[in-house]
Amino acid sequence: MKTEHEFFATGDVPWTVDDAGISQRVLSQDPGDGTLTRVARWAPGTVSGEDVIRHEYFEEVYLLEGSLTDLSLGQTFASGDYASRRPGMPHGPYRTDEGCTMLEIRYGSGR
């Protein structure tokens, strides 16, 4: 199950780096099913790769700071923008020129 927490200071959670080189503060997760809540920070100039992204989980993303460009759409999203994606929904790849920070929530496919 996803870890349970009462209110806590998220600034006390250390920044780590995920497999894609993105800095993250994992706030809650279930390693067994991939459920995750994190704050992700992309450094200026970060690119997510060359391919369109698809995954097997629901994903919600809220941009807190900076901007993120979807290279397939040719559209840039900024702080306050939100995305909700179903499993298998194509998105990206992405690039950020100025850097960005986002709240990301992943949860099971519901299948």
Per the domain annotation, does 5 fall within a domain? Answer: no
How many domains does the chain fold into?
1
pLDDT value, residue 102? 98
Supply the range of the domain harboring residue 41: 13-107
Residue 2 lies in a domain: no
Residue 98 within a domain? yes
pLDDT at residue 109, rounded to an integer: 60
β-strand partners of 95: 47, 69
Summarised one tens digit per residue, pLDDT across range 30-69 is 878 878 999 999 999 999 888 999 998 999 999 999 999 9
Distance in angstroms (rounded) separating the CA atoms of residues 106 and 60: 7
Confirm whether 70 is domain-assigned: yes
Instruction: Judge whether 7 lies within some domain.
Output: no
- Does position 111 have pLDDT exceeding 80, yes or no? no
Residue 62 belongs to some domain of the structure = yes
Distances (CA, A) of 26 to 36, 74, 78: 7, 29, 22
The amino acid present at 6, given as its one-letter code, is E
Please indicate, yes or no, whether the overall pTM of this predicted structure exceeds 0.85: yes
CATH (domain of 101): 2.60.120.10
Tell me the percentage of the chain whose pLDDT exceeds 90: 74
